[in-house]
């Protein structure tokens, strides 16, 4: 029998490109698809934002009072995902200032993860025995209003200059116990390809370095950044893991699909680290839809982070029960691949602490009394 192969790419077709706001309707494709153009045209002022959205008085006031502390920056592409009339649009909540960020609660922390205290040289956080976080830039295409590193992201004085970069590389080279390097920022893909390749080539030349990860939100906020030549460059330095940060199904567009496909085709393993945010994704249905879309994009849902105790983001924090409820609504009800691990990053530098729904109902000697995802009781007896 002759088998006729069906070649229609049905999965990509399920993802849609956003419609462009009117001010960019006539922008040539070659500019719109160019990541440098997207960076240059970032929305940084109320004047431009007013041309894209029907801005509310609250957003105007919040911008006026916050932009000196933490810039606004939104790529035209990310702005095209926003609902221009709905101030509670999940994309808008993540990128346009709101009055909640002007409030600093007494329990808020400037450095919620204690990253500065574990910094042996500027630009390196070395907390765990075998891995480090390596800051390479202060810049991001979009400044997320929920950012945990607001204290230095978007601040040019915190940028990793050449000397700091060299000191960081020298530290990693000297510490043979390090096997895993998280290249971070800001967003490391704000570096040029040449600078990134220099960093990757230096790390790959160190015999004790096994893997590195690029922690980037460009797949979400500036997917045009993933060019063919960038993906080809990464091929030389495998294994390369990419850790990204999709928070809502609206972010899963055809552009994002294509960016993920380029990285996956180039051999990168892509993981998603969602942050649980009130009003954005604090709903099991939204998280399930997001995770299903991510799997179709070849991105594995990896973590759900409880929102940190950083200053000016308390309006995004949910009760911990919400995260447990979300995991409970996923586990067993959908593929295990779509169930990430829910964690709280221990405030002050405790590291990631996993939080689970309780499936253990009790123990009688060698007998464990368990419940499954439907609440049915099971007994497991040890030998
Ligand atoms: S991309 Fe990451 S580092 Fe940059 S502003 Fe967003 S959360 Fe912060």
Looking at residue 161, its pLDDT comes to 79
Looking at residue 118, its pLDDT comes to 79
d(CA 358, CA 222): 39
Q: What six digits make up the tokens of 236?
A: 């030389």
User: pLDDT digits over 214-262, tens only?
Assistant: 999 999 999 999 999 999 999 999 999 999 999 999 999 999 999 999 9
In 108-159 the beta strands, taken as DSSP E runs, fall at 124-125, 131-135
Listed residue (23, 79, 55, 52) closest to 250, CA to CA: 79
* 133 φ/ψ angles, rounded to the nearest 5 degrees: -105, 130
In 146-245 the beta strands, taken as DSSP E runs, fall at 180-184, 211-215, 240-244
Looking at residue 111, its pLDDT comes to 78
Listed residue (251, 270, 249) closest to 260, CA to CA: 270
Residue 264 three-state SS: helix
Looking at residue 348, its pLDDT comes to 84
How far is ligand 1, taken at its centre, from the CA of residue 359, in Å? 34
Q: Are 249 and 218 in contact (CB under 8 A)?
A: no
Measured from CB, residues less than 6 Å from any atom of ligand 1 are 140, 143-144, 147, 149, 153, 185-187, 217
d(CA 275, CA 305): 5
**CA within 13 Å, CB half, 163:** 2
Q: What six digits make up the tokens of 156?
A: 């040019």
Which atom of ligand 1 is least distant from the CA of 217? 1
The pairing of beta strand 360-364 with beta strand 131-135? unpaired
How far is ligand 1, taken at its centre, from the CA of residue 182, in Å? 14
Looking at residue 109, its pLDDT comes to 83
How far is ligand 1, taken at its centre, from the CA of residue 179, in Å? 25
Catalytic residues: 127-128, 131, 140, 144, 147, 149, 308, 345, 352
pLDDT, tens digit only, all 383 positions of the chain: 789 888 776 899 999 999 999 999 999 999 999 999 999 999 999 999 999 999 999 999 999 998 888 899 999 999 999 999 999 999 999 999 999 999 888 888 887 777 777 789 999 999 889 999 999 998 999 999 999 887 767 666 655 678 899 999 999 999 999 999 999 988 999 999 999 999 999 999 999 999 999 999 999 999 999 999 999 999 999 999 999 999 999 999 999 999 999 999 999 999 999 999 999 999 999 999 999 999 999 999 999 999 999 989 999 999 999 999 999 999 999 999 999 999 999 888 888 999 999 999 999 999 999 999 999 999 999 99
Q: Are 281 and 290 in contact (CB under 8 A)?
A: yes
Question: Which residue, judged by its Cα, is nearest atom 8 of ligand 1?
Answer: 147
Question: Which residue, judged by its Cα, is nearest atom 3 of ligand 1?
Answer: 186
Mutate to test the pocket of ligand 1, among 147, 150, 220 (most ligand atoms within 8 A of CB): 147
Which atom of ligand 1 is least distant from the CA of 216? 1
Q: Cα 86–90–96 angle (5° rounding)?
A: 75
Mutate to test the pocket of ligand 1, among 66, 145, 160, 187 (most ligand atoms within 8 A of CB): 187
Question: Which residue, judged by its Cα, is nearest atom 6 of ligand 1?
Answer: 144
Q: What six digits make up the tokens of 274?
A: 């969602």
Question: Which residue, judged by its Cα, is nearest atom 1 of ligand 1?
Answer: 217
Q: In the 8-state DSSP scheme, what is residue 331? A: B
d(CA 46, CA 50): 6
Which atom of ligand 1 is least distant from the CA of 148? 8
User: pLDDT digits over 169-208, tens only?
Assistant: 999 999 999 999 999 988 999 999 999 999 999 999 999 9
């Amino acid at each position: 029998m002759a088998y006729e192969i069906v070649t229609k790419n049905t999965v990509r077709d399920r993802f849609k490109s956003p419609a462009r706001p009117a001010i960019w309707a006539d922008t040539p494709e070659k500019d719109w698809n160019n990541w440098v153009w997207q960076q240059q045209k970032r929305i940084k002022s109320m004047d431009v934002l007013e041309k894209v959205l029907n801005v509310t008085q609250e957003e105007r006031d919040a911008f006026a009072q916050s932009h000196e502390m933490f810039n606004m920056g939104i790529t035209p592409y990310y702005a095209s995902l926003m609902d221009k009339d709905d101030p509670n649009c999940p994309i808008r909540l993540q990128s346009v200032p709101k009055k909640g960020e002007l409030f600093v609660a007494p329990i808020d922390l400037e450095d919620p993860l204690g990253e500065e205290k574990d910094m042996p040289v500027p630009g390196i956080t070395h907390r765990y025995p075998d891995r480090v976080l390596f800051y390479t830039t202060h810049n991001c295409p979009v400044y997320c209003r929920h950012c945990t590193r607001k204290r230095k992201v978007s601040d040019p004085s915190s940028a990793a200059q050449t000397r700091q970069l060299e000191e960081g590389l020298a530290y990693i080279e000297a510490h043979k116990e390090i096997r895993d390097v998280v290249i971070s920022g800001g967003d490391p893909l704000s570096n040029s390809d040449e600078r990134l390749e220099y960093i990757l080539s230096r790390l790959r030349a160190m015999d004790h370095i096994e893997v590195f990860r690029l922690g980037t939100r460009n797949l979400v906020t500036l997917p045009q950044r993933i060019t063919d030549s960038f993906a080809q460059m990464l091929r030389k330095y495998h294994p390369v893991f990419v850790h990204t940060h999709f928070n809502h199904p609206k972010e899963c567009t055809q552009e994002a699909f294509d960016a993920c496909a380029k990285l996956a085709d180039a051999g990168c393993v892509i993981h998603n680290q969602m942050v649980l945010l009130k009003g954005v994704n604090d709903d099991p249905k939204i998280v399930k839809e997001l995770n299903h879309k991510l799997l179709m994009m070849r991105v594995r849902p990896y973590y759900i982070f409880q929102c940190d105790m950083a200053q000016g983001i308390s309006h995004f924090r949910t009760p911990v029960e919400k995260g447990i409820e979300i995991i409970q609504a996923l586990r067993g009800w959908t593929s295990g691949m779509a169930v990430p691990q829910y964690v709280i990053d221990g405030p002050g530098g405790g590291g990631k602490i996993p939080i689970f729904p309780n499936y253990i109902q009790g123990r009688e000697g060698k007998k464990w009394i368990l419940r499954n995802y439907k609440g049915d009781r099971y007994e497991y007896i040890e030998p």
